[in-house]
Amino acid sequence: MTAVDGAHRLPLEGVRVAAVTVVWAGPHVTQLLAEWGAEVVRVEPMNRVQPYSRLSLQRLSPEVQRIQAENGVTFSLTPDLDPGPDPWNRGSSFNAHARNKKSMTCDITSPEGHATFLRLIEHCDVLVENNVPITIERAGITYEQLREVNPKLIMLRMPAFGLTGPYKNFRGFGTHVEGMIGHHLLRSYEDLGPEYTGDAFTADAIAGVLGAFAVTAALRHRHRTGQGQQIEMPLAEAFLPILGEWILDYTFNGRVAPPQGNRHRSHAPHGAYPAAGDDQWIAIDVATDAEFHALARVLEADALGSDYHFQTAASRLEHRHELDQALGDCTRSWDKFELFHALQAAGVVAGPVMSELDALASPQLEVREWFNELTQEGVGTHRHPGLLFKMEETPNRLRTPPPRLGEHNEEIYLDLLGYTAEEYQALIDQGLVGTTYPESLLRSVS
């Protein structure tokens, strides 16, 4: 791997990671590892569909993409809503996590691909996968099989519910896991069912961070002992501790928590309130009587500040529905950013509810130089979300754009794995290695 500059090496430089990952949780793990120096090789089939990896292999017309965007479906969007000849290289979901990675095409379920994968594992420190367990078992790449090839291998497995038990082979995205463990119910609103909360994939995001931590801990262990090992990190079990206070409240006190929505156990007002403009909002949290009266002064809402129902924290909480309505009537004429600064200056906790465009224009993120520009062949130059954290003594930045399908085939097959040119060409001729999907797998939606 190439260091960020001549004087500094990234902490994971020299670690090679094979990735057989889909959707978000597994790709997020390898995103974090790649950002801090690991060489991540995505192992991707090109002769069959890998669900929710590089889109759904549909060439969605601009009109269909526009409709999806209006309904909040963004994972399949392409630049300028143009699918182009290779939409699998242009999708926003894939390109959000694939920076700093490499791509090789290899069907691990075929005999030739399985042999290739074993040769790759010989050269790897880590394997990350987040497939349903039976898929890995059928492919013949369980940890028990792979450690025969590489005893020092660290393998992170991220099934939805675990490698054992009655739910072992249940397929699930983060949202299904969150439904199973109660998060959807907790975050729903008291007057609406959980079906109105919209999609959430918090379990995937949490799993990405925890998975990267688990891998680095296992690398540390291997450095000390020379031992590789399997890490089992089910999405459900990784997310459950996030809900620890609710679980303990039940086990200690026998209380079943109702839907929480935006409400707080003791603070009122506490929520998102309308601001000027279409679908503009500001979040406000008031903890004390002094903060409430400061809020009323900023809004020049004498009636709100003097209403006897709202004079104490206990009374505001009891009458929170009436308070929310009255406060919304006061905030809806304000620009959310102007009100944000005014309330902060008055000592009231508040913040604008940001859209993607708001975030891109944020003066805070601009000063921090958080967004990084990357230029990708066939996609162009765009601003990408930056690093999740910074290290004072280790300068870092996004280094390479998301890889095109099979972009690094020759480097991996010929240079790393030692295939001859003839062997490599034979795999291409069989349709197992390449840089595009066969037309039979693609379909256009207009």
Residues 400-439: pLDDT tens digits?
A: 999 999 999 999 999 999 999 999 999 999 999 999 998 8
Handedness of CA 234, 236, 241, 247 (dihedral sign): negative
Q: According to DSSP H, which parts of 11-91 are helical?
A: 25-35, 62-70
**Separation between Cα atoms, residue 446 and residue 442, nearest integer Å:** 13
Q: What are phi and psi of 157, to 5 degrees?
A: -115, 135
Residue 167's H or E segment, with its range, is: none
**Separation between Cα atoms, residue 34 and residue 13, nearest integer Å:** 9
pLDDT digits (tens, 9 = 90+) for 29-53: 999 999 999 999 999 999 887 777 8
State the pLDDT confidence band at 74, using cuts at 50, 70 and 90: confident
- Report the pLDDT value the prediction gives residue 198, as an integer from 0 to 100: 75
Say if residue 96's pLDDT is above 60: yes
State the pLDDT confidence band at 3, using cuts at 50, 70 and 90: very low
State the pLDDT confidence band at 366, using cuts at 50, 70 and 90: very high
State the pLDDT confidence band at 440, using cuts at 50, 70 and 90: confident
Say if residue 354's pLDDT is above 50: yes
Say if residue 1's pLDDT is above 50: no
| Region of poorest pLDDT, from 9-18, 45-54, 226-235, 236-245 | 45-54
Is the CB of residue 75 less than 8 Å from the CB of residue 93? yes
**Separation between Cα atoms, residue 338 and residue 237, nearest integer Å:** 42
Note every long-range contact of 53-56, with CB atoms under 8 Å and residues 24 or more positions apart, other chains counting.
Answer: 53/21, 53/22, 53/23, 53/94, 54/88, 54/89, 54/91, 54/94, 54/405, 55/87, 55/88, 55/91, 55/93, 55/94
Q: What is the mean pLDDT of the chain?
A: 92
pLDDT digits (tens, 9 = 90+) for 246-261: 999 999 999 999 898 8
Most confident of 83-92, 187-196, 270-279: 270-279
Is the CB of residue 58 less than 8 Å from the CB of residue 444? yes
User: Region 142-162: what's the mean pLDDT?
Assistant: 97
Q: What is the pTM of this model?
A: 0.92
The residue type found at 98 is A
CA distances from 233 to 38, 194, 244, 346, 391 (A): 20, 26, 17, 45, 27
- Report the pLDDT value the prediction gives residue 7, as an integer from 0 to 100: 58
- Report the pLDDT value the prediction gives residue 193, as an integer from 0 to 100: 81
368 Cβ contact partners less than 8 Å away, ≥ 6 residues apart:
none
Task: Map out the domains of the chain with their CATH numbers.
Answer: 16-241+370-445 (3.40.50.10540), 270-360 (3.30.1540.10)
State the pLDDT confidence band at 2, using cuts at 50, 70 and 90: very low
